[in-house]
């Protein structure tokens, strides 16, 4: 099982690497890592499990956050109480996006950032991603609102970016009136 200590902190230079494309078939290690990522993200969103195992709640995790510079991430979305939808995105690309921009009203969080961060991270309200599933089959996923934000956040990780890079240090709430808060 993944523990908080396994997740790289924002000060770790490896988070700034651009991850490399995955070659299929997946290695046994990559399949095991993906299973552990799903387990962590699911358990972290179930209050009693999060308390029991001392997990910070998270919706998404990129392989690079575990020190693995490969282009895959997992998003586990709790769409209803105790009901989860899991997305395994390998070699993902954003192929379309809305014009409308949104931001998380309370601010985005990240399992690699262990502090409060003030400011707006502009994200597309709706996105379509193309990727491969665990078996190497091409998939398309349309996401909106919170899910769209999670996908964009994790894609940033694969490109060596952190959500904090999107915040204007001189004006953290710049262009707030041009976007919708969610």
For the chain, domains (ranges, CATH) are 19-181 (3.90.45.10)
Is there a catalytic annotation at residue 39? no
- 155 within 8 A of 149, measured Cβ to Cβ: no
The enclosing H or E element of 50 equals: helix 47-53
- Percent of the chain having pLDDT more than 90? 97
| Structure confidence by residue, pLDDT tens digits, 68-77 | 999 999 999 9
Please tell me which residue in 48, 108, 145, 154 is annotated as part of the active site.
154
Task: Please report which confidence band the pLDDT of residue 113 belongs to, taking 50, 70 and 90 as the band edges.
Answer: very high
Task: Indicate if the pLDDT at residue 60 is higher than 90.
Answer: yes
Task: Indicate if the pLDDT at residue 1 is higher than 90.
Answer: no
Query: Residue 86: helix, strand or coil by DSSP?
Result: strand
Can you tell me the mean pLDDT for 24-47? 97
CA-CA-CA-CA dihedral for 170, 179, 113, 65, to nearest 10: -120
Q: What pTM does this model have?
A: 0.96
| Structure confidence by residue, pLDDT tens digits, 143-171 | 999 999 999 999 999 999 999 999 999 99
CB neighbours of residue 80 within 10 Å = 7
Can you tell me the mean pLDDT for 93-119? 96
pLDDT in the model for residue 151: 98
């Amino acid at each position: 099982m993944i523990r908080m200590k396994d997740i790289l902190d924002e000060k770790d230079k490896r988070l700034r690497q651009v991850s490399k494309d995955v070659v299929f078939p997946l290695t046994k290690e990559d399949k095991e890592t993906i299973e552990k990522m799903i387990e962590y993200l699911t358990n972290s969103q179930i209050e009693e499990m999060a308390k029991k195992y001392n997990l910070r709640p998270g919706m998404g995790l990129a392989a690079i956050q575990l020190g693995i510079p490969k282009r895959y991430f997992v998003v586990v979305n709790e769409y209803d109480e105790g009901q989860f939808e899991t997305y395994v995105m390998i070699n993902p690309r954003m192929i379309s996006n809305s014009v409308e921009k949104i931001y998380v009203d309370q601010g985005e969080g990240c399992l690699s950032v262990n502090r409060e961060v003030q400011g707006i991270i502009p994200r597309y309200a709706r996105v379509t991603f193309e990727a491969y599933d665990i078996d190497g089959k091409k998939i398309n996923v349309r996401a909106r609102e919170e899910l769209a934000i999670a996908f964009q956040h994790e894609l940033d990780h694969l490109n060596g970016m952190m959500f904090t890079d999107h915040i204007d240090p001189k004006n953290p709430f710049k262009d707030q009136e041009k976007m919708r808060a969610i």
